[in-house]
Structure 1
Amino acid sequence: MHSSANTHTYQQLVCFHCGEACTIATITAENKHFCCEGCKMVYQLLNKHGLCDYYSLNENPGLTQRIPVRKDKFAFLEDAAIQQQLISFSNDQQTHITFYLPQIHCSSCLYLLENLHRMQPAVISTTVNFSRKEVSIIFDHNHISLQKVAELLTGIGYEPYISLQNLQHHKPGPKKSLIYQLGVAGFCFANIMLLSFPEYLGLEPADLQLQGVFRWLNVLLALPVFLYSAYPFYESGWKGLRHKFLNIDAPIALAIIVTFSRSLYEVISGTGAGYFDSMAGIVFFMLIGRVLQDKTYQQLSFERDFTSYFPVAATLVKDGQERSVSLPEIKAGDTLLIHSNELIPADGICTRGKACIDYSFVTGESLPVNKEMGEMVYAGGKQTGSAIEILVIKEVAQSYLTRLWSADVFKKNNEPKSVSFVHLLSRYFTYILFSIAAIAATYWAFTDSTKVWNVITAVLIVACPCALLLSNTFTNGNILRILGRNKLYLRNAQAIEDMAGITHIVFDKTGTLTTTSEQQVTYEGLALNQRQQQAIASLAAQSNHPLSRALVSHFGNIQRLPISAFREIPGKGIRGMVGDQYISLGSPDFISGYTTTIEKGARVYVAIDDKVVGHFSMHNHYRESVAPLVQSLSAHYKLSVLSGDHDTERATLQRMMGASTTLLFNQQPGDKLQYIKKLQENGERVMMIGDGLNDAGALKQSNVGIALADDCNNFTPASDAIMDASQFSHLYRFMRLCKANKQIVIASFILSIAYNIIGLSFAVQGVLSPMIAAILMPASSLSILLVTFGCSNIAARLFLKDVPRT
């Protein structure tokens, strides 16, 4: 008896860390049992560093450590060539790396990984992307190696997935187990239906002895469906219960268990044939719906890869010629020309000029880092000195630019987060569903007990919150895709809602309302010799500002001279040593000692060795699309124009923009930011459209910031959207589509709610069979996808019918 009691207690032991059964009762620490020494070691490690809150977030959140990891498994990470392919950034103090961790599964994982620095002080910070199962780690490589970081993650149960065959951060493909489970369910369902026909059609008295054989054959065929094919629903439902949350798979799993148990009871007791055909049909059709839903979701590419999206380009130098190329065209071995204030799109080696790189987007440090020829430069840095050339050594890391663009530091955090009623509804949906099933079952138990099991099963299966949730996700996702095809690239779905609520639009003038490609440039002042012209053109070529580009275009293919001591002051001008001459280009107050006179158009003043020699007049060429665009926008929005130029073109702009448009001139970057803040304090929802060069602060402050990109690298992480300049005239149509998106979402919500009400009304009456309910549930989700997909496409055709697409 004593032995039996001990055995019973022993069988109840589960690992405190991972929840697995303990086969050895002697592995303990602080009165807690563990299934292996590995789990015990992880617990002791967390306890030592005060991280046991990990266990309070979820019950048994850890992963089993029974499979030991070979100590030298990550020795290959000491290889410099492999490190170069994996590391996204490195300097003297820190290294940035992103790992794919397939073991991430709950909030405890987030807590533990984001507190990695408490376990290892050399880890500076960690950021987890839960949906992508990625962790971005910044660590001090002077105190811990990349190999040790990987071993640290492995030691706490999160072994990084690293493929030596492909080091481009591609994750392993989806498991085929779902397809196998679907195949087994389909085979068994078909045969169960075949063996059930005699039961449906009736047997001759002479053949009644076969009835029992057919029923037990159905039991055997139902077992693989119940134990294997239905496993995804059990697993998902159990995970929800472990986290004290009833997800949508919980009622489905319960319906499968109830149907199978009831059917098995009837066969054993000889009271009937059961509902094995319904049970197998439920699993089969639910799996079909899940596979089709996943396929549709993947095809619509809502988890977008921006590799083919960013309309930014880089200047490729080849055979002495410069040409603009899109980022996907850049290959290892290409030479890129990076202008001042231009983002470096790919890792490379500096081959010409002196790099002075601002890595604040990457590290948060605003102090520029000097790099000499032959040194490594990383994607994400911004060149602040004169133009440099780099030799590309890695493919363009647009996935890295995507992470940079989506970084939390560039997101608005000054507004309260709103919670959609859909999320609140989905949270309590399963509780409501169980309540309806219980009430219906109680009613039929007293009215017609033969309908109880059918009613319970049908109610649990036919209700579908997926339709409610997917309507919002898929509509927003499809609109993002449509806008992307039309060269407006939004950071995320929230930007769609923000655009729909805009009340005030602010335009930058230079490079936004005007274009540099058709400007007329004239010079007034002391005559310039060829050497001086070369010096001015060489200095202007270092900057990517619209007026500098206009000057470069004016001089044509003139021979460039080397530049030193280059400096660019945003909104003012540029200066530097060209040979033995000190050249300054910019506004009057930037060129010291010059007194302004009446001006006609934008002007760039020239000083050689601190002596003003003249100025270049830029006759602004406004984009042809401005006038019709303003006419459309002014009827629905308040408009403002901010310009760093003098007000000589006020009359022209006022005629073009309308009398109600606010025009402000001599605006520095800080002035633009303050103006946006003032509008917001007055209750306006502001959209700022600029070129992304001098407007980063204003773009970030505005509710929606759009960086306009010509054939140059105007990418800025501070923007919410990037729009190709060729699509500028269609801005009003894009905004109308964003408003239509909200109406489509509301309509799909109503449709989803109507489906659930109608489906449940038939289910509680006992007139809906469980198998039909199993067909209707995934069908409802797919129908919502088709409705939202179709409506958003119709809206796009209506509003964007004349918009040229890529």
Structure 2
Amino acid sequence: MDASKSCFHCGLEIQKLELIVFEEKEFCCKGCQTVYEIFSKNDLVCYYDFANSPGATPLDISAKYDFLDNEKILEKVLEFQEDNTCVVSLMIPHIHCSSCIWILENLQRLEAGVRASVVNFNEKTVRITYKSDEVSLKSIVNLLSSIGYEPYISLENYETGVKKDDRSLTYKLGVAFFCFGNIMLLSFPEYFETNEFWLDQYKDFFRWLIFGLSLPTFFYSGSGYYISAYRSLRSGMLNIDIPIALGLIVMFIRSTVDIVMGYGQGFFDSLASLIFFMLLGKMFQIKTYNFLNFERDFKSYFPIAVTKITNGTEENVPIYDIVKGDKLMIRNQELIPVDGILISSEATLDYSFVTGEANAIKKHSGDKIFAGGKQMGQLIEMQVLESVSQSYLTQLWSNDVFQKKVNQHFKTITDQISHYFTPILLLIAIAGFGYWIFYDVNTAFNVFTAVLIVACPCALALTAPFTFGNILRILGNKKIYLKNALVIEQLAKVDTIVFDKTGTITTTQIATIEYTGIGLSDNQVQLIKNSLRASNHPLSRMLYNELPETDFLKMSDFKEYVGKGVEARFEGNKILLGSPQFIGVQQEQTLAETSIYVSINDIYLGKYVFKNAYREGLSKLFKRLSKNVFKLDFLTNLQDKTTKITT
């Protein structure tokens, strides 16, 4: 068989010894085969017709969602619950194509208790209506996970409940669009100035109809500009909404006077169009930002519930019910939700969520462990020292730097322009009125209103949101995500760029790896590469990719000891790869060295030393930034005193 073949279900490359053939189709693992069997049994194989290999490999989630049996938690997660009918919205990160939509909207064919399911592709959510007397939410979640669509349920769901979207801008835009379209249609006879009996007969009626349509546009759709201008004046600041609001108000009053006095239909068509297009620009910017939005806090990553041990009995309880002194059980790959004391003999914790460093940390019985660490390996037990709200991670996240709503002291370009534009505009309008009032009162009022209407900075209000929205979209396509649109203008004032070292300017894909020790034969290299093949540790994957291609060997036994190393056996050969303590050799005193030690058949042969490998083009980037007078700096481990970066 060709090792380059891909899985029929998920599309991943199939290794020679892992190939599974079922119904003349090739799969990379038993999980993908099982998903195919489920679809085939329920006549859902059309799933594979919409896209090539659209699925995902299902993960082992045993006992992960047991907390959904807790009624208190269930009430927080559900959107609607009446008698036996329940509605829940679940976020499914894997939704990416039409096959995903098709299978998720046919859940009732996989589970009879599901009555309906509707997918929101943009938000990657599925809204499921089901009968609680026929199926539980836990069963639905387990079903989704078993077919590769594991939902994302976090503490944020429990705390906020059903998320309510602010649709006020959508309603205002809809009203403005309706009124704008009809006002333009009714204004056509005025544009062409045709002399037609029926048009002349009903001209006044059309004008008052236009006036009526302008009222909801002016008072409702444009209300945001008046409120913003009022607040700006109260705070003693001049923003761009002040001249806009002034122009809209004057335009409305002038147009009303024209209709009442019979001078014409006024400028209601311009008024409605300006409000509509300004709201459209706002909507474009908001939609673009929401699509690229990545704002999260620690609640988005923490579980809703945790396993509590009481008198030897395990129960799933809401995380906010955990108090000091409780005894918790943390499984493999679960986040530690609170600060506490480790009861188990040892634990290996990944604190990359908190520190950004991927190296696992060893903890022993009696050591203090902090919230945010991920347990790696077998389950552990811990005793709670602080509740969730008082943990170190919560205090860290409460810092002003991480808050979503922070007072902005930065003035945008539009605010800077309006600081001078508004008083100058009023000065010109008043000066024109003061000059003409001595000659002709009617002309004086016309000049005053004309200046305010014509000079209304609506063009600036239109261009700003469209420009910001488009820049957010362009940056998003380049994999650059900004916290908000204000950052775009602030970028122009940046004079210092700080790079994180680990994983940012360094890469794990291409590393400089050197071997020191007794020379290795081709057979020994083959044994080492095959031993690394079953490990998911980042260093194992880096070394595996670095070693030359070899034939695959049948492994008789494999064990991976978290934080220590791996042990593999091939036809009587015993291979140990890992730390010096795991291999059983005395560690050399080398500063800031990352190594994998090698032992075959209990004979120490040498070690592979990993050196920092920087991303391609980094030197060229630093030179370009330096020429643009940017000061460059970087963050790294303070203990790594040998690290130097030069341009």
TM-score, length basis structure 1? 0.39
Higher relative contact order (CA 8 A, sep 6+): 1
